[in-house]
């Protein structure tokens, strides 16, 4: 991972489940020279939080260009933000498409080389349903922007011990008998999502890549991380 030591990176959506796990993993491993945590508000971190030394950048996603200067110099970008369909169709599209693509486009403009995007299982730009269609559109359009490397992750049911939403908790217990025999089938812990992302980040200097990781492939990538 020595090739990452001199890089500046950003994490958008770092207060969500995957972003939280990812930013913590980055901090614990001391992977990068400079880490920028991007969000709509500043979060007070205690002194024992390993991320307390990271720079926090507060942005207006409706006018992201105003924050372009902060993104300059970032070689790697992590986009982990997302809403839910339950938040309403318009809000979901605004966050998961408008804001997400605004980040990707700005990152590309300032010369970011490697972009990581946490999508979802079933993403399909041609779907008749809003959620998978929106995720699929983002995947497709990100890959077309011209980044040297784009890694897309499609987690299934996200497990975040102690922090699950009610629906997630119910779903977990419904599929538990199956996952007991095949843990990688239809669930993944947020920590393993983070580890799979870091595992792929180490391919920074390995030429052009466009890769979509399924839930099982994310498990494999996480296991490969020392």
Number of domains in the chain: 1
pLDDT averaged over the chain? 90
How confident is residue 160, by pLDDT bands cut at 50, 70 and 90?
low
DSSP label of 83? -
Looking at the domain assignment, is residue 166 inside a domain? no
Q: CATH number of the domain at 213, please.
A: 3.40.50.720
**Tokens describing residue 71:** 């993104």
Please tell me the distance from the alpha carbon of residue 70 to that of residue 110, in angstroms, as a whole number.
10
How confident is residue 171, by pLDDT bands cut at 50, 70 and 90?
very low
Please tell me the distance from the alpha carbon of residue 66 to that of residue 225, in angstroms, as a whole number.
37
Looking at the domain assignment, is residue 115 inside a domain? yes
Residue 152 has pLDDT above 70, yes or no: yes
| 145: phi then psi, degrees, rounded to nearest 5 | -75, -25
pLDDT tens sequence across 102-132: 999 999 999 999 999 999 999 999 999 999 9
- Is 144 exposed, middle or buried, given 0-12, 13-18 or 19+ CB atoms closer than 10 A? exposed
Looking at the domain assignment, is residue 171 inside a domain? no
SS3 state at 157: strand
SS3 state at 215: helix
Q: How far apart are the first and last CA of the chain?
A: 10
Radius of gyration (C-alpha) of the chain in whole angstroms: 17
Cα-based torsion angle of the residue sequence 114, 118, 121, 124 in order, rounded to the nearest 10 degrees: -60
Place of tokens 């947020």: 190
- Domain of 63 in residue numbering reads as 2-158+190-224
Instruction: Kindly state the helix (H) or strand (E) to which residue 167 belongs, with its residue range.
Output: helix 166-179
Looking at the domain assignment, is residue 197 inside a domain? yes
What pLDDT score does 134 carry?
Answer: 97
Looking at the domain assignment, is residue 58 inside a domain? yes
Looking at the domain assignment, is residue 182 inside a domain? no
Tell me the whole-structure pTM to 2 decimals: 0.89
Looking at the domain assignment, is residue 173 inside a domain? no
What pLDDT score does 168 carry?
Answer: 47
Residue 51 has pLDDT above 60, yes or no: yes
What pLDDT score does 183 carry?
Answer: 60
Looking at the domain assignment, is residue 181 inside a domain? no
Enzyme catalytic residues? 131, 135
pLDDT tens sequence across 1-33: 767 999 999 999 999 999 999 999 999 999 999
pLDDT tens sequence across 57-99: 999 999 999 999 999 999 999 999 988 756 688 999 999 999 9
């Amino acid at each position: 991972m020595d090739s990452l030591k001199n890089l500046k990176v950003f994490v958008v959506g770092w207060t969500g489940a995957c972003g939280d796990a990812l930013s913590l993993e980055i901090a614990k491993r001391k992977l990068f020279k400079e880490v920028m945590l991007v969000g709509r508000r500043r979060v007070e971190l205690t002194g024992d939080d390993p991320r307390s030394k990271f720079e926090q950048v507060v942005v207006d996603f409706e006018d992201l260009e105003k924050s372009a200067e902060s993104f300059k110099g970032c070689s790697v970008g992590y986009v982990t933000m997302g809403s839910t369909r339950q938040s309403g169709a318009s809000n979901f599209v605004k966050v998961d498409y408008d804001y997400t693509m605004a980040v990707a486009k700005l990152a590309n403009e300032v010369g970011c080389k490697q972009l990581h995007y946490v999508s979802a299982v079933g993403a399909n730009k041609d779907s008749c349903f809003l959620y998978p269609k929106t995720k699929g559109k983002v995947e497709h359009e990100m890959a077309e922007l011209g980044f040297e490397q784009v890694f897309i992750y499609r987690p299934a049911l996200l497990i975040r011990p102690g922090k699950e939403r009610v629906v997630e908790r119910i779903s977990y217990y419904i599929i538990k008998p199956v996952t007991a025999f095949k843990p990688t089938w239809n669930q993944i812990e947020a920590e393993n999502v983070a580890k799979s992302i870091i595992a792929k980040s180490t391919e920074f200097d390995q030429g052009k890549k466009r890769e979509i990781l399924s839930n099982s492939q994310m498990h494999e990538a996480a296991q490969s991380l020392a």
